[in-house]
């Protein structure tokens, strides 16, 4: 690349990185106030991934890193693999509960009952989280769902919930 084009592309990468970081910070503030959902979690992940790719692109100007496309593909596949293994609902519920106690928070913990079996033990057995009437109704609905589900369609989360329902949350 010629000198002036290299400078222009370098400035473009730097300013793009600054915009991506500012966007991530604004999204982080929004998450802190309104809580995590799947959409917000993946928006934050995508924003941080773009920051990572811009840093890799910036580093590639100073030292060769091989094929940029290979780095992008390997990074995307590795991050996808990590995301599929994480218990997202559990992590989001824990974060939302913690953030809901902060001053200025607008998180309604009663909305957490829309999550699935990964958060059942957190919500069903903790009286501080859901109002008593909501918790009892939600627990009864979940028991009906698990009871009607055929055994071959059960997941590891369902089996964990069966264990919790039988033996309690100790």
Q: Could you report the per-residue pLDDT of 148-164, keeping only the tens digit for each? A: 666 555 555 555 655 55
Q: Give residue 20's pLDDT.
A: 95
Q: Give residue 91's pLDDT.
A: 85
pLDDT in tens, 80-128: 999 888 888 888 888 888 888 787 888 877 677 667 666 766 766 555 5
- Comparing 90 with 168, the larger pLDDT belongs to 90
User: CA torsion angle for 87, 91, 94, 97 (degrees, to 10)?
Assistant: -120
Query: Do 112 and 128 touch, CB atoms closer than 8 A?
Result: no
pLDDT in tens, 39-73: 899 999 999 999 999 999 988 888 888 888 899 99
Query: Do 88 and 41 touch, CB atoms closer than 8 A?
Result: yes
* DSSP secondary structure letters along the chain: --HHHHHHHHHHHHHHHHHHHHHHHHHHHHHHHH---HHHHHHHHHHHHHHHHHHHHHHHHHS--S-HHHHHHHHHHHHHHHHHHS-HHHHHHHHHHHHHTSTT----GGGGGGS-GGGHHHHHS-TTTS-HHHHHHHHHHHHHHHHHS-GGG--HHHHHHHHHHHH---
User: pTM for the whole thing?
Assistant: 0.69
């Amino acid at each position: 690349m010629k000198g002036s084009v290299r400078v222009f592309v370098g400035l473009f990468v730097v300013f793009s990185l600054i915009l991506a970081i500012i966007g991530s910070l604004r999204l982080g503030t929004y998450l802190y106030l309104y809580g995590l959902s799947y959409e917000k979690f993946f928006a934050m992940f995508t924003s941080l991934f773009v920051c990572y790719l811009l840093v890799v692109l910036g580093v590639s100007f100073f030292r060769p890193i091989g094929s940029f496309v290979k780095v992008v593909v390997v990074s995307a596949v590795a991050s996808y693999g990590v995301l599929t293994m994480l218990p997202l609902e559990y992590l989001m519920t824990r974060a939302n509960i913690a953030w809901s106690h902060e001053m200025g928070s607008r998180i309604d913990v009663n909305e957490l009952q829309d999550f699935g079996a990964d958060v059942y033990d957190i919500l069903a057995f903790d009286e501080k989280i859901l109002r008593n009437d909501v918790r009892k109704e939600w627990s009864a609905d979940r028991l009906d769902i698990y009871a009607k589900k055929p055994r071959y369609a059960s997941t590891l989360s369902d089996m964990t919930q069966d264990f919790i329902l039988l033996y309690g949350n100790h």
